[in-house]
Amino acid sequence: MADIRSNFLGIQSPNPFWLASAPPTDKEINVTRAFEAGWGGVVWKTLGEDPPVVNVSGPRYATLMSQDRRVIGLNNIELITDRPLRTNLEEIWRVKRAWPDRAMIVSLMVPCTEASWKAILPLVEDTGADGIELNFGCPHGMSERGMGSAVGQVPEYIQMVTAWCKQYTKLPVIVKLTPNITDVRQPARAARAGGADAVSLINTINSVMGVDLDRMLMNPSTDGWGSHGGYCGPAVKPIAQNMVAEIARDPATAGLPISGIGGISNWRDAAEFIALGCGTVQVCTAAMVYGFKIVQDMCSGLSNFMDEKGYRNLDAMMGLAVPSVKNWNQLNLNHVEKAVINQDSCIQCGRCHVVCEDTSHQAITAMDKDGRRHFEVMEDECVGCNLCVSICPVPDTITMRALKPGEIDARTGEPVRGGYANWTTHPNNPMRAPA
């Protein structure tokens, strides 16, 4: 069987599934239940200085749901732990001793002063924790106090605080990055420059979940007022994977260990993050929606997939998809594809025709054939955009066919060229390089 044990920065865990720093990791009772269910590790909910912060005593969450009432996204205005620092430290100490084979990472957020970080780090070390995660991502509440994303959006601050932590602790230092930034490579480079052992991403995204149109109040609201919060859940997964891939393929950060976060709801999501270079994955929303036992399906699914593909351990598949991620100007413009409809499995719903006719390239005909609705691709109009494949409700009914070199592209009337050519040498590019 595949070995799904994780060795991340020398931190051992029985599987790569960690609970992210959030309400599910705020107390000894929660974390113990998580470990009993099978989670490989946790990132304890962010600790700060005493006196503890004050959270709102009202709605902290709002959800975006699909038509069948599945949670697509979750917004929260929760802050860091509102329990005393000593209470948290004592519980971390007890849990780590009861579960020595599980990863125990402690998330930290204190004011951006050297003295504050110097003071809290030895307290965390004394718990026996395996590592620390610097919360430079929280987009609300704490950022207004000069912490969280207020630090994470300034590379110079990231490098400075990371260097302090590397000076005052022997524990591995993981820097948690905010997605609320134009180019995530810059903070990742700063983290590496400061000596970070790894980065984790993404933290939550700035969001307003909606408006109650009957009361004309944003949702959620506390006593008639609301605040932007942090967005997470399945809907953020594409954003998270893009940022992970950017760091994994950036020459300045290539090889920097990554703990992937963002919309991971099942084993397949986890496998995708691992393929993009992540050594562990952190989960929050899925646990808050389905409970801790979801990790059991994640572990068995990942193990079965790895067995099927012949990956003996996580290292064998980690980062395999990274070379496939390129800038647009590196894509092969000599490659041509056309959509193909499998008439045997087509249910004649007509969605492909409607979307292509109204919003794309008018490349799918609609006709009656033998008393039935019939849809076919017109190759002389098809640009290979993949929209019909994306919206077809029947898997593998519409597929894409790559034209072979020398085959005539019916849309252009030109033979398909072999070999590779991209925008940098294309004749339509006024700044093209010599071919």
Q: Per residue, what are the HEC states of 133-189?
A: EEECCCCCCCHHHCCCHHHHCCHHHHHHHHHHHHHHCCCCEEEECCCCCCCCHHHHH
Pairing assessment for the beta strands 258-261 and 278-283 based on DSSP bridges: parallel
Q: DSSP state, 222?
A: B
Burial of 234 (0-12, 13-18, 19+ CB in 10 A): buried
Pairing assessment for the beta strands 17-19 and 205-207 based on DSSP bridges: unpaired
> Which entry of 138, 232, 284, 346 is annotated as an active-site residue?
138
Ranges of beta strands (E only) in 22-168 are: 41-47, 61-65, 71-76, 103-108, 131-135
- Distance, in Å, from the CA atom of 336 to the CA atom of 409, rounded to the nearest integer, reads 8
- Distance, in Å, from the CA atom of 283 to the CA atom of 243, rounded to the nearest integer, reads 17
Largest CA-CA distance found in the chain, in angstroms, rounded: 81
- Distance, in Å, from the CA atom of 230 to the CA atom of 220, rounded to the nearest integer, reads 12
The two tokens of residue 364 are 């799918």
Q: DSSP state, 49?
A: P
Contact present, 319 and 248 (Cβ < 8 Å): yes
- Distance, in Å, from the CA atom of 37 to the CA atom of 287, rounded to the nearest integer, reads 11
Confirm whether 138 is a catalytic residue. Answer: yes
- Distance, in Å, from the CA atom of 292 to the CA atom of 237, rounded to the nearest integer, reads 20
Partner residues linked to 378 by β-bridges: none
- Distance, in Å, from the CA atom of 323 to the CA atom of 60, rounded to the nearest integer, reads 40
The catalytic site residues sit at 138
